[in-house]
Amino acid sequence: MPEQFTSWEAIFASLSGAFPAERYHAGMELEIAEATANGVTLRANRETLTADLLIAADGFRSETQARFAPETISRYAGYIAWRGVADETDLPDALVAFFDDNFCFCDVGGGGHALCYLIPSEGGSTAKGTRRLNWVWYVTVPEGESLNSVMTDGAGRQRHASVPAGHVNATALNDLHRRAENLEPHFADLVRATPEPFIQSIFDVAPPEMVFGRVCLLGDAAFVVRPHTAATAKAAADASEMKVFGRAGSTAGSDIRDYLSRTVIAFDWVELENAGQCRDMLGIDSFETLELPIVEFPDGERIFAPKPQDIAARLGWVTAPKHEEYDLSIYGGGPSGLSAAVYAASEGLRTILTFPNRVVRVQS
């Protein structure tokens, strides 16, 4: 599947650019003075404001959450994330080339895993030579003395949620560099070459409710999900499912459902039995002559009687191979084909794996 990565700075720049500057008040800390059935009174610096509704997106240590849902469960998950961002121009070309155009994972001897991908520059540029490498390494750290010591910053201050870039204590940093020997060599080089790694401790936070009259919690203030790959994508997919409409028992319908299930696409299967249902659900006044199945995408576009390759093309999965020649090509993306591809790539072979309607380049 084509991959697209972005960064917080790039998202912030585009969203804040679309929001009127005169309504964006930086440097203001809000405090709820009163919340009634009709609205909310807020204090911000020395001003008092009233609002019909308040959306509290004040992060995982939300004071709004503490006030309205004091019984919220907040628990250290048992591990921290070491993180780092390095400008590609500060790294050797071969190291950048290894990570370029790939979402790289590294299973770490002794537990945990690391991942790395390229993100845009601070200004949002994705041009080669301006990008940054972003890595995360999840490391188990027992609660108590070990956690306290890694979360104590260079000035001796005990931190809880994070130790920002430039503030990690020297012992923790040396330990990180020493333990990098357990990583795949490119990952190890990247970790050691990153100027100012930082730390985030991982918490699970689950309040019993998100809405309290005119006040609503949003984002991490409402719920913290563990930050693992595809968590957000899965939530987004759940919120925007595809629909497949078809006749009961039809082979074409079953082929499409089988294809979507194998490619881990969430969808609703809707069985149509008569013209009334077609009218109500699809706004189409026929049943006997209707070309089925119909696949409806989250944006409302429909394709009639598609083949799996039509769906793959619509989802942007059909991409040109990166190289003209490969050392090894594998046909079939079941467990055998996939394992063979991963082992071959880990031995340094340029490997391509194809299965119906999808081509995967494999990088160890």
Ligand X SMILES: Cc1cc2nc3c(=O)[nH]c(=O)nc-3n(C[C@H](O)[C@H](O)[C@H](O)COP(=O)(O)OP(=O)(O)OC[C@H]3O[C@@H](n4cnc5c(N)ncnc54)[C@H](O)[C@@H]3O)c2cc1C
Stretch that binds ligand X, among 53-61, 66-74, 152-160, 328-336 (CB under 6 A): 53-61
Q: DSSP letters of 312-325? A: HHHTT-----SSS-
Residue 325 contacts ligand X per CB under 6 A: no
Residue 136 contacts ligand X per CB under 6 A: yes
**Minimum gap (Å) between residue 203 Cβ and ligand X:** 8
Length of the chain in terms of residues written? 364
User: Which residues in 173-202 contact ligand X (CB under 6 A)?
Assistant: 200
User: Which residues in 57-116 contact ligand X (CB under 6 A)?
Assistant: 57-60, 63, 81, 83
Stretch that binds ligand X, among 220-228, 251-259, 284-292, 345-353 (CB under 6 A): 220-228
Q: DSSP letters of 235-295? A: HHHHHT-EEEEEETT-HHHHHHHHHHHHTT--EEEEEE-SHHHHHHHHS---STT----EE
User: Which residues in 20-49 contact ligand X (CB under 6 A)?
Assistant: 29-30
Q: Report which residue type is found at 247.
A: R
The correct pick among 16, 232, 319, 346 for binding ligand X (CB under 6 A) is: 232
Cβ neighbours for 307, distance < 8 A, ≥ 6 positions apart = none
Q: Which is nearer to ligand X, 67 or 262 (CB)?
A: 67
The correct pick among 9, 153, 175, 220 for binding ligand X (CB under 6 A) is: 220
Stretch that binds ligand X, among 47-55, 106-114, 215-223, 321-329 (CB under 6 A): 215-223
Q: Which is nearer to ligand X, 57 or 211 (CB)?
A: 57
Given a contact cutoff of 8 angstroms between Cβ atoms, the answer to whether 133 and 91 are in contact is yes
Q: Which is nearer to ligand X, 63 or 255 (CB)?
A: 63
What is d(CA 172, CA 50) in angstroms, rounded to the nearest whole number?
46
